A and B are shown apart, each in its own frame.
Chain A
């Protein structure tokens, strides 16, 4: 079965500290992995996707097929990074439907 697991409901760090939001997935084929973010009172939006191998707002995420992980990292957290982060998987051919994790709330304290 396809599944995305985000083990932490809440991650609280101080400004300037490194951040790692964990995501593990279960999928037998070649998945596509995404991170979506929802800032307070804003819509859910795409942050980054693994195939782009890009850094967005200082965040990066590397797909590790051996560990079936797609952790989101940022070396120096900022207060404006405080939000809910969802890891998502798209693994079915010819659809784009996303399987989301439970979400992790990132709280960056001043």
Chain B
């Protein structure tokens, strides 16, 4: 079946502009995660959605970052007033059902964001 998809695959923007990154999880997966992969920082957790529960936003680096998940499926990560340090690959993952910690997370191909 189809895996996790993300769009766009690449995004180049100017400092100060807002960007939206999209994630389509695997159908039926109730848990959705956003991570950031950057040089020198490795992979950082950003935010996690589980069903209709309030999202865990503990990894968001600043209030310029926000995310939503509509209808328990598609998610959008928004970065306002982008800064050069926001340049990274943003990865989305989904899993069948969190609360069972061993669930495998399936990752998307990522969106490479470059802030000039």
A residues at B contact (CB < 8 Å): 32, 43-46, 49, 51, 86, 88, 90, 93-103
Contacts and interface: CB of A to CB of B under 8 A. Distances in A.
Interface of B: 3, 31, 33, 35, 41-45, 48, 50, 56, 59, 91, 93, 95, 98-110
Contacts of B44: 100
25 contacts: A43-B109, A44-B43, A44-B91, A45-B106, A46-B105, A86-B42, A86-B43, A90-B102, A94-B98, A94-B99, A95-B48, A95-B56, A95-B99, A96-B48, A96-B98, A96-B100, A96-B105, A97-B45, A97-B56, A98-B105, A100-B42, A100-B44, A102-B41, A103-B42, A103-B43
Nearest to A101: B42
A96 B91 contact: no
Contacts of A88: 43
A51 B45 contact: no
A43 B3 contact: yes
Contact of B101 (A32, A86, A99, A103): A32
Given A43-B107, A96-B95, 5 more contacts: A45-B107, A96-B98, A98-B33, A98-B43, A103-B43
A5 to B, nearest CB: 10
A25 to B, nearest CB: 14
